[in-house]
Structure 1
Amino acid sequence: MLLPLVILFILKSSAFQFSLLVFLLALLGLDEFYRMALPARRGEGMAAAAAGACSIFTIFSGNPVFPLMALTVAVLAFCLVSLFRLKEIRQAAPDAALLLTGFLYVPLLLAHLVLIRMLPHGVSWLFLIMVIVMAGDSAAYYVGSTFGKNRLYPAVSPKKSIEGSVGGLAGSLVGALIAKYTFFPELSFADCVATALLLGVLGQLGDLFESLIKRSCGVKDSGTIVPGHGGILDRLDSILFAAPAAYYYAYFLLR
Structure 2
Amino acid sequence: MRRDPPHVKECAIQRLITAAILLPLVILFTLKATAFQFSLLIFLIALAGLDEFYRMTLPTRRGEGRIAAVAGACAVFTVFSGNPIVPLMTFTALVLGFALIALFRLKEIPQAAADSALVLMGFLYVPFLLSHLIMIRMLPHGIPWLFLIMVIVMTGDSAAYYVGSAFGKTKLYPAVSPKKSVEGSLGGLAGSVAGAFVAKAIFFPELTPFDCVATALVLGVLGQLGDLFESLIKRSCGVKDSGVIFPGHGGILDRLDSILFAGPAAFYYAYFLLR
Report TM bin, short chain. over 0.9
Alpha-carbon distance in 1 for matches of 2:55, 2:106:
19
Kindly state the Cα deviation for residue 213 of structure 1 after the two structures are TM-superposed: 0.2
- Which stretches in structure 2 are left out of the alignment for 5+ residues? 1-20
Q: Secondary structure at the match of 1:2?
A: helix
Could you tell me how far apart the structure 2 residues matched to 1:223 and 1:16 are? 27
- What is the match of residue 72 of structure 1? 92
Q: How far off its partner does 1:85 sit?
A: 2.3
AA matched with 1:10: T
Match of 2:211 in 1: 191
Residue equivalent to 1:145: 165
RMSD over aligned Cα atoms: 0.6
Q: Which residue of 1 aligns with 2:55?
A: 35
Match of 1:76, as an amino acid? L
| 1:162 corresponds to 2:182 | yes
Total equivalences in the alignment = 255
SS of alignment partner, residue 242 of structure 2 = coil
User: Partners in 2 of 1:87 and 1:238 — Cα distance?
Assistant: 38
Unpaired runs of 5+ residues, structure 1, are: none
Partners of 1:169 and 1:45 lie apart in 2 by 36
Q: 2:110 aligns with which of 69, 76, 90?
A: 90
Deviation (angstroms), 1:62: 1.1
Superposition deviation, residue 104 in structure 1: 0.5
> Of residues 197, 210, 220 in structure 1, which corresponds to 2:230?
210
Matched with 1:14 is: 34
Aligned partner of 2:158: which letter? S
The alpha carbon displacement at 1:91 in A equals 1.0
Task: Note the alpha carbon deviations across 1:214-238, whole angstroms, 9 max, x for none.
Answer: 0000000000011111000000000
Matched residue SS, 2:179:
strand
Matches within 5 A, 1:33-72: 33-72=53-92
Q: 1:46-72, CA deviations, whole angstroms, 9 ceiling, x for partnerless residues?
A: 011001100011111111110111000
What SS class does the counterpart of residue 225 from structure 1 fall into?
coil
TM-score (norm 1): 0.99
Once the two structures are superposed, what CA deviation does each residue of 1:98-124 show, in whole Å capped at 9, x if it has no partner?
Answer: 000000000000000000000000000
Q: Deviations over 1:21-80 (max 9, x none)?
A: 000000000000000000000111001100110001111111111011100000100001
Deviates more, 1:81-90 or 1:228-237: 81-90
Amino acid at match of 2:247: P
Q: Which residue of 2 aligns with 1:248?
A: 268
